[in-house]
Amino acid sequence: MVIDKFSSFRGELSVPGDKSISHRAVMFGSLAQGDTRIRHFLTGADCLSTIGCFRAMGIDIEQNEDEVIVHGKGIHGLSAPAKTLDVGNSGTTIRLLSGILAGQAFDSMITGDASICRRPMKRIISPLLSMHADVRSKRGNNCAPLVIHGRTLSGIHYQSPVASAQVKSCVLLAGMYADSPVSVTEPVLSRNHTEIMLKALGAEISSEGTTVTIQPDPVLTAGEILVPGDISSAAYFIAAALLTPGSELLLRNVGTNPTRYGFLRVCEAMGASIERMNETSVGEPSCDLLIRSGSLHCTEIGGVLIPTLIDELPMIAVMACFAEGTTVIRDAKELRVKESDRISVMSENLRKMGAEIEETEDGMIIHGGKPLKGTVVDSHLDHRIAMSLAVAGGLCEGPLSIRGAECVNISYPGFFEDLKRLNI
Ligand code: S3P
């Protein structure tokens, strides 16, 4: 994919449905009694992998463009898959589904693509073993494939060493199959979509500070789920409009759950003008965002803010290159174990374009204001890297070639079409 310099961003965009919420809607809809209608479902490859896994366990799922109907069978209604479950590139699918599989009355094996098979699974294997689950890494390396012998689990209070919604959700979902309540305490609160949706479907689940507790054996009742637009997908267009002179862009129906909207806070801290309009809250909060271009300055990002913008940090790194002053990102070691090592891959690609970036163990120090120029960069087949680089390509001098750009299909199938349509 070759990206030329942007002209200006104008018009309106309804960004695709939230990836985290779409995954959960299919999973919890499958475990609910009755039919769950999901509107504005994200039809990206990751969420299609989740649909594939639940179909393989006997759940009938209809899909019509971005509307999905899940014919749920209750928390004990899944059947043994005939083959190894394949999550593709999706970390959310493998980690959440492993919690569910640990409590089933059947055995299963779950795996994914090369990136998934490199990602750390000890973070879910450890708490599941403490619940007396029978889960092991097939190759003994704490990575996928995972072999799971389903059984009744024991309740625990798990003190998670990482702020990870995937770990928290895995343990809570396993908790539905435990013999007593299960609690998870995180060092910093991560996204709470699991808590919100399970509660709406009828589970007894409560939060206090960074601790969540679930009561076992809930009856989940199917309902209608409206998925808000994904703020992580909106971030690329917010950044592009902010940094392309003469832009005015309206983004419709963007999810603004406080555990996810750190990117907006950072934009504002960098001096951006973002107007929020038409705020609503149907299960999850959302609003329209009006973005006008303007100049940005440096900021410092760390601590409790990190989990609320973890997936937007590659985009923020690009923005920092075009901002005045030195931006510091710290406490973001988790970036090293995403679809790629996002600290090293972003630093390497942006440096190749002329940026001045120091890589640290848990973040980046970015000296803004150096002119970036087009060259050949590589996504490392990481969708968020590809989209962040595409925005960098439209802001730099000369065309930028992105290798492996097709991986945007993981979370945003029409990304390049939308980028082209709004750049006028
Ligand atoms: C997600 C949680 C985050 C995030 C990922 C989606 C989720 O991962 O980076 O893209 O849907 O729960 P971690 O739980 O590893 O922080």
Verify whether ligand 1 is closer than 6 Å to residue 232 (CB atom).
no
Ligand 1 centroid from CA 5, angstroms: 32
Among 191, 308, 388, which residue has the most ligand 1 atoms within 8 Å of its CB, making it the best to mutate?
191
Residue having the nearest C-alpha atom to atom 16 of ligand 1: 164
Name the residue with tokens 């072999």: 147
Ligand 1 centroid from CA 167, angstroms: 9
* Edge-to-edge order in the sheet of strand 273-282: 10-14, 248-255, 284-292, 273-282
Atom of ligand 1 nearest to the CA of 19: 11
Ligand 1 centroid from CA 20, angstroms: 7
What CA–CA distance (Å, rounded) separates 334 from 168? 15
- Nearest CA to 367 out of 318, 331, 314, 320 is that of 320
Q: What local confidence, expressed as pLDDT, does residue 31 receive?
A: 98
Mind listing the pLDDT tens digit for each residue in 65-91? 899 999 999 999 999 999 999 999 999
β-pair partners for 73: 33
β-pair partners for 108: 148
Verify whether ligand 1 is closer than 6 Å to residue 165 (CB atom).
yes
- The residues, ordered by sequence, that sit 6+ positions from 279 with a Cβ below 8 Å of its Cβ are 256, 285, 286, 287
Q: What local confidence, expressed as pLDDT, does residue 273 receive?
A: 86
Ligand 1 centroid from CA 268, angstroms: 24
Enzyme catalytic residues: 311
The half-sphere exposure of 364 on its side-chain side, counting CA atoms within 13 A, is 30
| List of domains in the chain | 2-16+228-422 (3.65.10.10), 19-226 (3.65.10.10)
Q: How far is CA 27 from CA 60, 62, 295, 388, in A?
A: 12, 14, 42, 29
Verify whether ligand 1 is closer than 6 Å to residue 92 (CB atom).
yes
**Token pair listed for 319:** 């923005």
pLDDT, one tens digit for every residue, the chain (424 residues): 999 999 999 999 999 999 999 999 999 999 999 999 999 999 999 999 999 999 999 999 999 989 999 999 999 999 999 999 999 999 999 999 999 999 999 999 999 999 999 999 999 999 999 999 999 999 999 999 999 999 999 999 999 999 999 999 999 999 999 999 999 999 999 999 999 999 999 999 999 999 999 999 999 999 999 999 999 999 999 999 999 999 999 999 999 999 999 999 999 999 998 999 999 998 899 999 999 999 999 999 999 999 999 999 999 999 999 999 999 999 999 999 999 999 999 999 999 999 999 999 999 999 999 999 999 999 999 999 999 999 999 999 999 999 999 999 999 999 999 999 999 9
Verify whether ligand 1 is closer than 6 Å to residue 192 (CB atom).
no
Name the residue with tokens 């009744």: 152
Mind listing the pLDDT tens digit for each residue in 39-52? 999 999 999 999 99
Report the amino acid identity of residue 285. Answer: P
Query: Exposed (0-12), middle (13-18) or buried (19+): which is 65, by Cβ within 10 Å?
Result: exposed
Verify whether ligand 1 is closer than 6 Å to residue 104 (CB atom).
no
pTM above 0.85, yes or no: yes
